[in-house]
A and B are shown apart, each in its own frame.
Chain A
Amino acid sequence: GIQVEQSPPDLILQEGANSTLRCNFSDSVNNLQWFHQNPWGQLINLFYIPSGTKQNGRLSATTVATERYSLLYISSSQTTDSGVYFCAAPYNQGGKLIFGQGTELSVKP
C-alpha cells in the first residue's frame, strides 16, 4: 500500500509569516486530501487535490501527481492557523485514507 511522508514535523512561525508544508507519497494517487486538526482535535477538510493547484483564502495547495508530492502554502499566518496539518491518500482504491505523520504548526503572536 501507499506510504505518506510529511515535512517538516514541526514548524514555529511568527504571525504574518508564510510557510510551505510538503507531502510525499510512494505511489501514484487519484485522491490527495489536506486536513487541519485544530487544538480541540477536530479534523477540518482543507483541500481535495489529486492534481493541480487550488486556493482558498490565505491557503493554497499544489499536487504534482507525476512527481508524487503535494505542497500546502499558508500565507500571512495567523495564530488560529496553529494545529497539526495532515495530508492523506487512499489505500489502493478502497477509500480508506493513509495519513502522514503530520506537521505541527505553531504561530506566535
Chain B
Amino acid sequence: EAGVAQSPRYKIIEKRQSVAFWCNPISGHATLYWYQQILGQGPKLLIQFQNNGVVDDSQLPKDRFSAERLKGVDSTLKIQPAKLEDSAVYLCASSLVPHSYQETQYFGPGTRLLVL
C-alpha cells in the first residue's frame, strides 16, 4: 500500500513570496491533517479535513495560510505572503476512520520550507 505522498520535498523562498504544498493521502483515508513542525519541536496541527470539509482550523494563521481539499482526496496548503517564522517542516498525515480518536495517523515525508 502506498504511503502519504508530499511534494515538493524542499523549498527555499524569500519572505513575502508565496508557496504551495501538495499532499496525496493513503487511498481511502477520509481524514487528512496538515501539521507544522518547527525545528526542535513536535508537530502542531494547522488544519484537519474530514473528506472535503474542515473539522479544525483553529491553529491556522488565516491571514496568510489557506488550505483546501477538493473532492476529498488531494490537498494543498498555501502560504501568502511567507514570513521568516514560517520556516519549518510541513507534514501531511491521513487516517482511515473518520473523526475517531482511536485511529492511527500515517505521516508523509514532509516538505522542508526555508524562508530567507
Contacts and interface: CB of A to CB of B under 8 A. Distances in A.
Nearest to B44: A99
B110 A42 contact: yes
A33 B109 contact: no
Q: Which 7 A-B pairs have the closest CB atoms?
A: A99-B42, A43-B107, A90-B101, A96-B45, A48-B104, A93-B101, A31-B101
Given A42-B110, A96-B45, A99-B43, A33 B56 contact: no
A88 to B, nearest CB: 7
Interface of B: 31, 33, 41-45, 48, 55-56, 89, 91, 93, 95, 99-107, 109-110, 112
Given A43-B43, A86-B42, A95-B100, 19 more contacts: A33-B105, A41-B109, A41-B110, A42-B109, A42-B110, A45-B106, A86-B43, A90-B101, A92-B101, A94-B56, A94-B99, A95-B48, A95-B95, A95-B105, A96-B33, A96-B45, A96-B48, A96-B56, A99-B43
Contacts of A41: 89, 109-110, 112
Contacts of B109: 40-42
A24 to B, nearest CB: 14
Contacts of B106: 45
A104 to B, nearest CB: 9
A45 to B, nearest CB: 6
A30 B102 contact: yes
Contacts of A99: 42-44
Contacts of A33: 104-105
B104 A95 contact: no
Contact of A94 (B41, B42, B43, B101): B101
Interface in A32-59: 33, 35, 40-45, 48, 50
A95 B44 contact: no
21 contacts: A4-B42, A30-B101, A31-B102, A31-B103, A35-B107, A40-B109, A42-B109, A42-B110, A48-B104, A86-B42, A93-B99, A94-B101, A95-B99, A95-B101, A96-B33, A97-B33, A97-B43, A99-B42, A99-B44, A100-B42, A102-B42
